[in-house]
Chains A and B, each alone.
Chain A
Amino acid sequence: MRRKLPSLVLAVLVALATAGVAAAANGGFTPVEPASPNAHHIQHAYYLILGFTAAIFVIVESLLVIFVVKYRSRGRARAVEGAQVHGHTRLELIWTVIPVVILAIIAGFVFYELPNIDSAPAAADPIHVTVEGHQYYWQFDYTDSPNQARSIGTLHVPAGAVVDLKVVSPDVIHSWWIPALGGKIQAIPGRTNHTWFQADPGTYDGECAELCGVFHASMRATVQAGSQQQYRHYLATWQDTIGKQIWNGVCATCHGNLGQGGYGIAIANNSLLTQKSGLEGILRNGFTGAQGSMPPVGDTWTQEQIDAIAAYVKKNIYKSAPVGATGGG
């Protein structure tokens, strides 16, 4: 009985793996449902490799189980030798050549799919966005827009449009990844990387994929692919919401939703919130002092962004009385 246990467990494993192929796309057996051509083509390559590797997995593990069951000792003494076979050149050549052929097919297919993954469709007129990874938020700079539109945390694009992303970072390495919209690309200080997507309508979430410090886990990004109208509406009215976006996406991570404090100090009743110039200095240059230190979160912000966050905190966050009295919701 005990000797059959290995085969049993392995059989279960094999069953699990094959069930995975069957369950496809549901339950995490393939990458998330693609919503952009590059992600679709990555998925194709994934399926091809999955087909070959699943077959190899089943063959190797079954052989192992079959041999384990078939050639088990069955109470023979240890001194009894098995067949003294030292090798078989032709057989060994076969299991060298077959993997070479399989790998060549996989590599060939990757090169076949590569143009569709690596480069955006040539015909389309792309929208240009600079994605800036920053401790600990994503900032989007809509470089085509005449009014220097920006957003924090959420990227607004028209569905179906090709979006060309320039990916940069001013501080440490981050990694841009929206699983449904294709692969990752690192945001590296001192370097500009490129990627692209062409999103189906919908909302897609992702996270920074490179350890970037204390709040790496909070560095989320969302892509909202709506209508052309919604996109143009956002670009036209970005100043109206940018203060709130900055508060929620940048400040609240450390200081709490209401400025009640958290990892960073409580700031809700700090009168600095009402002084724009002082606030601007801290946002642009960071701060180191007895109460702790703060990174220069706003070192790449436009004057409009500074104005907007200053106005927002003055109006919505600043409380002259201690915040504890109002209770943190």
Chain B
Amino acid sequence: MAARSEAAYPVGWKNGRVASWLVTVDHKRIGILYIATSLVWFVAGGILALLMRTQLATPNEAFLTKNSYNEVLTMHGTTMIFLVVIPILAGFANFLVPLMIGARDMAFPRLNALSYWLFLLGGIILWLSWFAKGGTAHAGWWSYPTLSENLPFASPGHGQDYWILSIHVLTLSSLLGAINFIVTIHNMRAPGMTWMRMPLFVWSIETYAILLLLALPALSAAVTLLLLDRTVGTHFFIPSHGGNIVLYQHMFWFFGHPEVYIMVLPVFGMISEIIPVFARKPIFGYKAVAFSTIAIAFFSMLVWAHHMFTTGLPVGLDSFFMISSMVIAVPTGIKIFNWIATTWRGNLIFDTPMLFALGFIALFTMGGLSGIFLAAFPVDWQVNDSYYIVAHFHYVLFGGSAFGFFGGLYYWWPKMFGRTLDERLGKWHFWLLFVGFNLTFLPQHMLGLLGMVRRVYTYHQGGQWEAYNLVSSIGSGIMALATLVFLINVWRTNVLRKGIRAGNDPWLADTLEWYTTSPPPAHNFDSVPYVTSARPLRDLRRRLAEQPQ
């Protein structure tokens, strides 16, 4: 240190501890920024969920009622979807895609930084709306008009406008990111890495990016029309002036259903990376897993109106969307069977990433199967908009996406920071979350079938209603505890630096990101080996083992 000559080797302000993160265009740092920011909002959105579960723990509770409850439910949904699940997956993609394909960085590093900062800005706009005149948006995360219109007893005030602005900024962020991923994946793969040798996570990000490009403009258009209605006096969605509300539903769900797969396909990709490594086997049916990703993405563009079965569509349309929704279950089933087959005759090692991956399969299966009931539209007429739906999509989005990204965090943490998260705490995290999750959401299926509708701030029935609600609220407390364990683990590993130092490849994994150091240098690789299969690292290990010492 002392010997360093300032004049000969000037250290600019850009290299400062904080400033270097602010001006970074390194995909790894941007990825970590994405993930860290998303986790902050995960905690914030989780606190909102706890507020709601506290209110619903017993009948006729008065803890959080009326407009406040509607604000909290809207903010919880919007935050978890737009500020947690999508961006944390973008974070993983940022960190991993260039490393997995052996590239130096993303194709457009500055654009990449812009994506992140737009995401942060969009999130801040959304959360600033707590201070808006009239409070935050309170029409639910779909913001159906006319409830979201600037009408006296719908959504006057500016909360809804903040919401729209935030969505605009966030969609811009995601679109830029999507373009960047596609260009990177198409042009910057390592020598020898053909499409059929590409890691399955990269396949899933390619599909995720294409879906974002196709679906997001519909959302932007829908909220733009809503904004015009609210601010300049158009009436696209005001029926008394000739507008059509059902049009908004179509536009929203044309985005909204691909959105579901945007939030789960990259997680499928992570699971397809984790399970083979901890089963010490190749993925069972690489091509089937890759092509089923494409099939799911394709069909996800054709199922949107299954969110609208109670809108009163003609039976012909209902029938079409029932069949297309059922079709999508087939490639999803293929994936689940292929993952399970991957564990067959393996050497299964139950480190925390594997626990989360297996937990994902168990829970996502449940969410997928409850979806079949919803595809059959007469049954959907019965359970739609009840707590059954709430249970269903939390099995998909928490049991699926969140369990998946937690698995991903434990798996790639050593690559990101050079230290492994503590296994003991990790297992506590998993089991508390698994038990807490099922306690919270399993009873909600029953509540929905008993007739409890979603988005109500209270109910008056005792008996089973009260019992199931109470169990659900207790479960949510256990989930909070699990998250606390995770945060302690992160603190312990990264701040107290008690995490075990990881080598390049602590899990003996298959893909290129494990070829470089942990954490990787700014330029990622000094050299990239010629890729001869979908498992370049295993090939390398075998070649090393064959060499005479």
Name A's B-contacting residues (CB within 8 A): 2-3, 5-6, 9-10, 13, 16, 27-32, 39, 41-42, 45-46, 49-50, 52-53, 56-57, 60-61, 63-64, 67-68, 71-73, 76, 78-88, 91-92, 95-96, 99-100, 103, 106-107, 110-111, 113-114, 117-118, 135, 167, 171-173, 175, 177, 179, 182-186, 188-191, 193-194, 205-217, 263, 286, 288, 293, 295
Contact = CB atoms under 8 A, between A and B. Distances in A.
Interface stretch (B117-125, B177-185, B366-374): B366-374
Can you list the 5 inter-chain pairs with the closest CB atoms, starting with the nearest?
Answer: A183-B381, A190-B239, A28-B446, A82-B346, A217-B456
Given A82-B346, A117-B378, A118-B378, A216 B319 contact: no
Contact of B350 (A3, A16, A286): A3
B159 to A, nearest CB: 14
A124 to B, nearest CB: 20
25 contacts: A6-B355, A28-B448, A39-B382, A57-B366, A64-B343, A71-B348, A73-B349, A83-B344, A85-B282, A86-B282, A92-B337, A103-B330, A106-B372, A110-B379, A182-B381, A183-B382, A185-B312, A189-B239, A190-B243, A191-B239, A211-B140, A214-B70, A216-B455, A217-B457, A288-B152
Interface in B4-41: none
B376 A110 contact: yes
Contacts of A217: 456-459
B281 interface: yes
B348 A91 contact: no
A91 B458 contact: no
B288 interface: yes
Interface in B274-306: 279-282, 284-288
Contact of A71 (B70, B337, B347, B386): B347
Given A73-B349, A96-B333, 15 more contacts: A6-B359, A28-B447, A60-B361, A64-B343, A71-B343, A78-B347, A83-B345, A87-B288, A95-B333, A110-B379, A172-B154, A179-B451, A184-B385, A190-B240, A211-B139
Contact of A111 (B312, B319, B382, B442): B319
B281 A85 contact: yes
B383 A31 contact: yes
Q: Tell me what chain B mostly uses at the interface: helix, strand, loop, or mixed.
A: helix
Contacts of A172: 146-147, 153-154
Nearest to A170: B240
Nearest to B508: A78
A30 B455 CA distance: 21
Given A9-B434, A184-B381, A171 B312 contact: no
Interface string B35-60: 00000000000000000000000000
A189 B245 contact: yes
B168 interface: no
A211 B147 contact: yes
A293 to B, nearest CB: 6
B459 A32 contact: no
B378 A87 contact: no
B508 A79 contact: yes
| Most B Cβ at <10 Å: residue of A83, A84, A184, A206 | A184
B319 A96 contact: no
Nearest to B447: A28
B431 interface: yes
B147 to A, nearest CB: 4
Interface in B196-212: none
Contacts of A207: 451, 453, 456
Contacts of B508: 78-79
A184 B449 CA distance: 13
Contacts of B139: 211
A93 B234 CA distance: 53
Secondary structure class of chain A's binding surface, majority of residues: mixed
A92 B334 contact: yes
A63 B147 contact: no
Contact of B378 (A110, A175, A214): A110
Contacts of B282: 84-86
Nearest to B506: A78
Nearest to B334: A96
Interface of B: 66-67, 70, 139-140, 144, 146-147, 152-154, 239-240, 243-246, 279-282, 284-288, 310-312, 315, 319, 322-323, 326-327, 329-330, 333-334, 336-338, 340-341, 343-350, 355, 358-359, 361-362, 365-366, 369-370, 372-373, 376-386, 427, 431, 434-435, 438, 442, 445-451, 453-459, 464, 468, 507-508
A323 to B, nearest CB: 21
A92 B370 CA distance: 23
Contacts of B286: 86-87
A81 B281 contact: yes
A189 B348 CA distance: 57
Contacts of A205: 451
B322 A107 contact: yes
Contacts of A32: 449-451
B346 A83 contact: yes
Given A64-B358, A81-B281, A173-B144, A96 B330 contact: yes
Given A53-B372, A57-B365, A113-B378, A185 B346 contact: no
A210 B286 CA distance: 43
B146 A95 contact: no
Contact of A85 (B284, B319, B347, B370): B284
A49 B376 CA distance: 9
A68 B445 CA distance: 27
B431 A5 contact: yes
Contact of A6 (B358, B380, B447): B358
Contacts of B366: 57
Given A71-B348, A82-B347, A194 B312 contact: yes
Given A82-B345, A83-B345, A189-B239, A42 B458 contact: no
Contacts of A76: 347
Contacts of B349: 73, 78
Contact of A209 (B319, B378, B385): B385
Nearest to A177: B453
A206 B451 contact: yes
Contacts of A2: 350, 427
A201 to B, nearest CB: 19
Nearest to B288: A92
Contact of B154 (A50, A194, A213): A213
B464 A27 contact: yes
A76 B349 CA distance: 9
A193 B378 CA distance: 15
A33 to B, nearest CB: 11
A184 B310 contact: yes
A28 B386 CA distance: 12
Contact of A114 (B333, B359, B378): B378
Contacts of A16: 442
B346 A118 contact: no
B148 to A, nearest CB: 9
Contacts of A9: 431, 434-435
Among B140, B147, B239, the one with the most A-chain Cβ atoms within 10 Å of its Cβ is: B147
A173 B438 CA distance: 32
Nearest to B315: A118
Contact of A191 (B245, B369, B442, B448): B245
Given A68-B343, A117-B378, A171-B146, A60 B450 contact: no
A304 to B, nearest CB: 25
Nearest to B339: A64
A67 B344 contact: yes
A103 B455 CA distance: 31
A29 B444 CA distance: 11
A99 B340 contact: no
Q: Residue among A103, A106, A185 with the most chain B CB within 10 A?
A: A103
B382 A110 contact: no
B449 A53 contact: no
